[in-house]
Structure 1
């Protein structure tokens, strides 16, 4: 990978949130987290020069890679030639694309996400009203702090909106930590890979309503629910019906309690 970087004169773009991984053993370990990828469709966001892409292709995956940095396209084109029929590179902004339409068939998502769009993409994958989703699993690199927020338990400081959205109908785990020294250039913080698989969706709950309720509650997380939820129509009545004390704060509620609130508010 270092030869590829040098040959194409590439460097990580801070504006695009890029940090490159070169350690092939580490990349192979990340590619192994979703299980056997032989013949499976995989979506990768932000492949950069193709380090993780190579690991996914070595694992037998059929990869669709979305990259908006034109500087990286020649390096990815070399991979397309080396793995004929196994890699499709699409130039563009992943946030602006319909991933289900792009992939067509069920697919796994595996990505060292650019830091500046990682959370937005993750929330989008979690927030679809149709469930189970077309994606079969998400294996994603985040800053460690974000990863900890995804798997956090109620009553802990990291617990918040991301945990609620991730845990109400998926099983989310922190699969591995990655030291900052593994990247070029090294980011200022540690990273971690989170693995998420869909589970059954509670009946009668709107994903959009759960998102609104958790966003309101954690938008003012140090205030009591009677304050943070008063702007959400029907929310305080829902607390009364459910027997949830409105003097509690958002981080003390369980994921199940947030789901119950959203169920009360869902049309």
Structure 2
């Protein structure tokens, strides 16, 4: 383990450098190390493991990950935070690597040098969903993900069939991973406080995820089905085969998208693939 107690507090570091959150980049800082340490614990045993962190900002979660024994690759888009992160890098004993880059554009396989890695991040609100979809659909996929989202987004990720929040995000997340909310974070925990509460979602890849072709077909089906979620499947899926597609998958065409299980969406995907061949 590493002792970072000699470093200035996060709040002191921000004040020294005159740094404020950039709302345009979706920044809200977690300065309470008790909270960041809890997130690191929720990510599981980290000793000796490689972790990718997106948007470290002043480095609160980064400190907790290093204290837990992780080797951290941090991707930061805002160059203002490089002096703070460089100071942390110098104290890390060679276990922190910092990249100034846009996480939506980086090649994680290159950054991790082909080594298995987990993602643990307090994600910027404005790109959180896009990053999750990127990691779920590959080609690079993490060993696990422990991610902070707006609470509404977190609830959409873990929603079950029949829930009002069940949609395409829940479908792709749960087909690829076991997903659960492991921690709530009230708005007051952040600086500056956002207008909404947040939550941490833990996602662990399934041992038998569907093949990429099935995932692509399922995404096409779900886009059509949830794009007109108030309509029966025979109508919302009309462009893909409508009632015939449903019957080929053994599904009642009068049902609606939010009532279908994960397996039923995969059956629709398989029926679509068969029609394409």
TM-score higher than 0.5: yes
Corresponding residue to 2:246 among 239, 242, 245: 239
Quote the Cα distance in structure 1 between the aligned partners of 2:72 and 2:242: 44
Corresponding residue to 2:36 among 11, 21, 27: 27
* Partner residue in 2 for 1:80: 89
- 3-state DSSP of counterpart to 2:120: strand
Per-residue CA deviations over 1:164-183 (Å, capped at 9, x if unaligned) read 10111311110111011000
Alignment of 1:138 onto 2:145: yes
- Aligned CA RMSD, in angstroms, stands at 1.5
Deviation at 1:248, TM superposition (A): 1.3
In structure 2, relative to structure 1, the CA distance for the partners of 1:204 and 1:166 (3 Å cut) is closer
C-alpha contact (below 8 Å) 2:242/2:253 kept by paired residues: no
State the TM-score, normalizing by the size of structure 2: 0.91
- 3-state DSSP of counterpart to 1:265: helix
**Runs (4+) of structure 1 moved beyond 6 Å?**
none
* Partner residue in 1 for 2:131: 121
C-alpha contact (below 8 Å) 1:235/1:265 kept by paired residues: no
Quote the Cα distance in structure 2 between the aligned partners of 1:134 and 1:165: 14
Residue correspondences, number: 263
- 3-state DSSP of counterpart to 2:72: strand
Quote the Cα distance in structure 2 between the aligned partners of 1:204 and 1:83: 38
Quote the Cα distance in structure 1 between the aligned partners of 2:232 and 2:195: 34
- 3-state DSSP of counterpart to 1:48: coil
1:59-208 aligned within 5 A:
59-103=68-112, 104-128=114-138, 134-199=141-206, 200-202=208-210, 206-208=214-216
* Partner residue in 2 for 1:217: 225
C-alpha contact (below 8 Å) 2:154/2:200 kept by paired residues: yes
> Which runs of 5 or more structure 2 residues have no equivalent in the other structure?
1-9
In structure 2, relative to structure 1, the CA distance for the partners of 1:35 and 1:229 (3 Å cut) is same
Quote the Cα distance in structure 2 between the aligned partners of 1:213 and 1:194: 26
Deviation at 1:194, TM superposition (A): 0.2
Quote the Cα distance in structure 1 between the aligned partners of 2:45 and 2:212: 34
Quote the Cα distance in structure 2 between the aligned partners of 1:231 and 1:186: 45
> Which runs of 5 or more structure 1 residues have no equivalent in the other structure?
none
In structure 2, relative to structure 1, the CA distance for the partners of 1:91 and 1:203 (3 Å cut) is closer
C-alpha contact (below 8 Å) 1:205/1:259 kept by paired residues: no
State the TM-score, normalizing by the size of structure 1: 0.94
- 3-state DSSP of counterpart to 1:32: helix
Quote the Cα distance in structure 2 between the aligned partners of 1:235 and 1:65: 46
In structure 2, relative to structure 1, the CA distance for the partners of 1:209 and 1:51 (3 Å cut) is same
Per-residue CA deviations over 1:14-39 (Å, capped at 9, x if unaligned) read 00000000111110000111211011
In structure 2, relative to structure 1, the CA distance for the partners of 1:65 and 1:111 (3 Å cut) is same
In structure 2, relative to structure 1, the CA distance for the partners of 1:134 and 1:164 (3 Å cut) is closer
In structure 2, relative to structure 1, the CA distance for the partners of 1:185 and 1:134 (3 Å cut) is same
C-alpha contact (below 8 Å) 1:156/1:251 kept by paired residues: yes
Deviation at 1:244, TM superposition (A): 1.2
